[in-house]
Amino acid sequence: MKYISKSSYMAGIDCPRMLWQKLWDRKSAAPLDGMTELIFEFGNRFGVLAHQLFPGAVLIDINIFKLNRAVEDTKKAIERGVDVILEATFCYEQCRVLSDVVERQEDGTWHLIEVKSSTHVKDEHYPDLAYQKWVMEQAGYPVSQCSVIHADRDGVWPDVASVFKQVDVTEEVNAAVQVVGDNVAAMVPLAQPGSAAPDARPLFSKVCHDCDFKKTVCWKDINEPTIYDVVDVRKIPGLEALDVFYVKDIPDDYDLYTNDRRNVDCMNSQGVDIDRAGLQPMLDELEYPIYFLDFETAAVAVPLFDGNHPWEKLPFQYSLHIMEENGEVRHTEYLHEKNSDPAEALADRLAGDIGQRGSVVVYHKTMESGVLKYLAERFPQHAASMQSTVDRLWDLEVVFLKHYRDWRFGSRSSIKVVLPTLVPELTYDDETISDGGAASLAWVRMLESDDFITRQEKADALRRYCKLDTIAMVELLKHVRVVMEG
C-alpha cells in the first residue's frame, strides 16, 4: 500500500498520471537540474533554520522509511501535553502528512504552520495546507488557524528572526479544504497495488512543462515541436479545442501573435528568416572596443554571508572577452574563491577591466543590467563605472529574438540553443557545468568544501563554463556579421 503524501496530493491535483508516477515509478523522474537541486537544498536548510523560531518545541525524529514511527511519536507527544511540535506526522487511512510546525491553542485546537522558502505566499500553498488540515482533522486533531512562514527579503543575516515572515492564511485554507475529501477519493484508487497508470495522452498540457516525467515517460516519444513549445499560452485553449497538438498541424489561418506565427512558419518551412532591414541598424550601433560580458550569480533562501538578505542575487564570477577594431580578442575573468561575500571584490576587478567607452555585449540583458545596478547601489565608489556599463549594454539575444530566426531554434532564443545550431564546434555538452543553476550550485559546493582538489575542480569547471558563454557571444556576433556581409 502507498501513502498519499503532501507532494503526491499536490501532484494528483495537477495530473493523475503524475500522482501515479510518483507513487509507483518515481525512479523514472528526470534527474534534478542544478538550480532545482540548489533550491531544494536551501529550502531544507531554511526549514531547519525555522526551528529556531520555536525554542522549546519538540522535534519528531524523521526516518522516511519508518514514518509510522513518526506518527506514533507525534501522537505520544500530543498526549503528554507538548504544545509545539516540529515535523509532526499525521496519518488517516492512506493519507499521511509531515507538518512543519503545529502549535496547540488554548481551546485545544491546533495552529498549523507551513514553512516555505519562497518570498511570498503562493496560491499553491493553500491546497498544500488544506490537505494537511484535512488529514489532521480526520485523525482527530481540529485545526483552527493556518499560517505560512516565508522568506523576508528585508531580513538581514545573521539576525535569524528577521529572515522569516509569518502570514495568516486561515481563510484561504478553509476555502481550499472543501474539495480535499473529493480529491482524496479520486486519488486513493491510484494508490492501490496494481492500479493501472492513467493514460497520459489526453492530459498533455502546459502542466507538463515542468513535470519530472515529461521527457522520461509521457513525452519521450514526441520528437516534433508541440503547440506548448511555441504558442503563447493565451492561444493554447483554442488550439486544444481543435485537437491540435503538433506545430505542423496549426492551421495557416489560425490567429497567432505575430512572433509566434513567424516562428511557426519558419519551423514548418524548415527555413531561416533574417530581417536584414532590422538587423543592420542594430549591428551599426556597436562601438569598439567591444566587450562581451557574462556574470554568474547565486541566490539562495538562507543568506550565505553577514549583511546579505534572503534570495539576494550575489554575483561571484564574470568572464570578459574584449574585441579590438583590428580583430584582436583577449580574455579576462574573475572568480571569487574565498568563503566571503564576493560582490565588492568582483566590482573592484570589473571596474578595472571594463573601459569607459565601447559597447558591452551581453546575452539577455535583464540579468547583467540587474547585477550592474546592484553593484552600483551597494558600492557607491563604483556607481559611475557600473552605470556607464549599463548604458552601453547591447543585447545579442535580441538579434535571435527579433531579427534572425532559424527553424532549429524552435521558439527559443537561449544561447544554449542558438550556439550549437550556428556554431556547432562550440558546445556545452562536454562541460560538467552546463547552465547557470549548475554554476551557482558548483560555487556554493566549492565554498563549503574543505577538500583542496574538489575546490580546484569546481573552480576550473566554473572558469571553463563562464568563459564559454562569452566566447560563444564572440563567435555568434562574428557569424551574424558574416551572414550579413554575404
Nearest residue (CB) to ligand SF4, 203 versus 282: 203
Instruction: Establish if 227 lies at the interface with ligand SF4 (CB under 6 A).
Output: no
Nearest CB to ligand SF4, comparing residues 3 and 219? 219
Query: What backbone phi and psi angles, to 5 degrees, belong to 349?
Result: -65, -40
If the CB atoms of residues 67 and 217 are measured against ligand SF4, the closer one turns out to be: 217
Residue selected from 4, 15, 250, 266 as contacting ligand SF4 according to rule CB under 6 A: 15
In angstroms, the CA 208 to CA 434 distance is: 23
Contact pick of 48, 207, 367, 383 for ligand SF4 (by CB under 6 A): 207
Stretch that binds ligand SF4, among 15-23, 88-96, 372-380, 404-412 (CB under 6 A): 15-23
The DSSP output letter for 410 is T
C-alpha distances (whole Å) from 45 to each of 42, 188, 304, 454 are 5, 32, 11, 22
Q: CB-wise, 48 or 203, nearer to ligand SF4? A: 203
228 lies in the site for ligand SF4, by CB under 6 A: no
Told to check if 218 binds ligand SF4 by CB under 6 A, we report yes
Q: Least distance to ligand SF4 from the beta carbon of 383, Å?
A: 47
Shortest reach from residue 36's CB to ligand SF4, in Å: 15
Among residues 95, 208, 335, 415, the one that binds ligand SF4 under rule CB under 6 A: 208
Size of the site for ligand SF4 (CB under 6 A): 14
Q: How remote is the C-alpha of 26 from its chain's centroid?
A: 21
Nearer to ligand SF4, 214 or 321 (CB): 214
Share in percent of the chain as helix, strand, coil (round to 5): 50, 15, 30
Piece of the chain touching ligand SF4 by CB under 6 A; list 38-46, 205-213, 321-329, 385-393: 205-213
Q: According to CB under 6 A, which residues from 24 to 53 bind ligand SF4?
A: none
Query: Which triple of cell numbers denotes residue 473?
Result: 557571444
Q: How far apart are CA 125 and CA 288, in angstroms?
A: 51
Asked if 36 contacts 53 with a C-beta cutoff of 8 angstroms, the reply is no
Distances (CA, A) of 316 to 297, 301, 369: 6, 17, 15
Closest to ligand SF4 by CB, 191 vs 361, is 191
Question: Beta strands 360-362 and 393-395: pairing type?
Answer: parallel
**Least gap, CB of 208 to ligand SF4 (angstroms):** 3
Burial 61-72 (b: 16+ CB within 10 A, else e): eeeeeebeebbe
Contact yes or no for 152/310 (Cβ under 8 A): yes
Q: How far is the CB of 31 from ligand SF4 (least distance, A)?
A: 16
**Residue 207 contacts by C-beta under 8 Å, 6 or more apart in sequence?**
14, 15, 18
Name the minimum Å distance from CB 11 to ligand SF4: 8
**For the purposes of burial, counting CB atoms within 10 Å of the CB of 197, is it exposed (0-12), middle (13-18) or buried (19 or more)?**
middle
**Does residue 187 belong to the site contacting ligand SF4 (CB under 6 A)?**
no
Query: Would you tell me the crossing angle of helices 180-187 and 6-14 to the nearest 10 degrees?
Result: 90
Residue closer to ligand SF4 by CB (options 220, 276) is: 220
Q: Can residue 200 be called a binding residue for ligand SF4 (CB under 6 A)?
A: yes
Q: Is 203 in the site for ligand SF4 (CB under 6 A)?
A: yes
How many other C-beta atoms lie within 10 A of the C-beta of residue 116? Answer: 23
> Would you say 62 or 222 has its CB closer to ligand SF4?
222
Q: Minimum distance between the CB of residue 226 and ligand SF4, rounded to whole angstroms?
A: 11
- Smallest separation (angstroms) from ligand SF4 to the CB of 105: 38
Instruction: Concatenate the DSSP letters of all residues of 54-70 into one string.
Output: STTPEEPPP-TT-HHHH
User: Using CB under 6 A, which residues numbered 359 to 388 contact ligand SF4?
Assistant: none
Shortest Cβ 236–ligand SF4 spacing (Å): 14
User: Residue 229 or 457: which CB sits closer to ligand SF4?
Assistant: 229
Strand partners, 246: 226
216-to-197, 220, 307 alpha-carbon distances in Å: 15, 5, 42
Does 17 engage in binding with ligand SF4 (CB under 6 A)?
Answer: yes
Of 85, 97, 101, 211, the one binding ligand SF4 (CB under 6 A) is 211
What residues make contact with ligand SF4 under the rule CB under 6 A? 15, 17-18, 21, 200, 203-204, 207-208, 211, 213-214, 218-219
